[in-house]
Amino acid sequence: MDSTGLVEEKKLCRNCNEEGTKVKTITVKHMVIGSLLPTVTDADYYLCTNGKCDIAYYSSESDLQIKKEQVKVPIWFKEDANPKYICYCNRVTEAHIINAVRNEGAKNMKDIIKLTSAMKNGKCEVNHPTGKCCSPIIQEVINNALGI
């Protein structure tokens, strides 16, 4: 570690200069299209969380940048993601959740799980672009749909 700030800078997406969120290598390996797989080495990877940026993942240790088109699934917060999956394990979209709240009376996470099968048999580490459980994002969509 040094005190020049270089370590911090490496966490920034080289395309948009915004700070990404760290993801596991195993997640990146499952997300990229097959032809890119050999380029994904065991390094530190970040997911660019800027919706307007075309980069999905980048490495802080190499020049590797993976574009959103080089990822097998649309990344839900990227501008033109279609469909917008929220629960990737069960392919539940933002529209499914909003519909369940507005038209099927869902009020909370339990209702959504029952109505959409979200979060069933989750393997988030290899199915979700962040590698993490989608439950906080589901909650956010519920809140928005309820107007909270």
- Residue nearer to Zn ion on the CB measure, 56 or 119: 56
**Residue 23 interacts with Zn ion (CB under 5 A): yes or no:** no
**Residue 48 interacts with Zn ion (CB under 5 A): yes or no:** yes
Burial readout 70-81 (b: 16 or more C-beta within 10 A, e: otherwise): bbebbbbebeeb
Q: Residue 147 is encoded by which pair of tokens?
A: 């107007």
From the CB of 75, what's the least distance to Zn ion, in Å? 11
Residue 147's alpha-carbon distances to 42, 50, 78, 102, 134, in angstroms, are 42, 24, 22, 10, 20
From the CB of 89, what's the least distance to Zn ion, in Å? 25
Helices 109-116 and 135-146 sit at what angle, rounded to 10 degrees?
100
Number of residues that bind Zn ion (CB under 5 A): 7
Residue from 47, 55, 101, 137 in contact with Zn ion (CB under 5 A): 55
Residue from 25, 50, 65, 135 in contact with Zn ion (CB under 5 A): 50
Exposure on the CB side of residue 63, measured as CA atoms within 13 A? 0
From the CB of 91, what's the least distance to Zn ion, in Å? 26
Please give the residue ranges that form the binding site for Zn ion (CB under 5 A): 13, 15-16, 48, 50, 53, 55
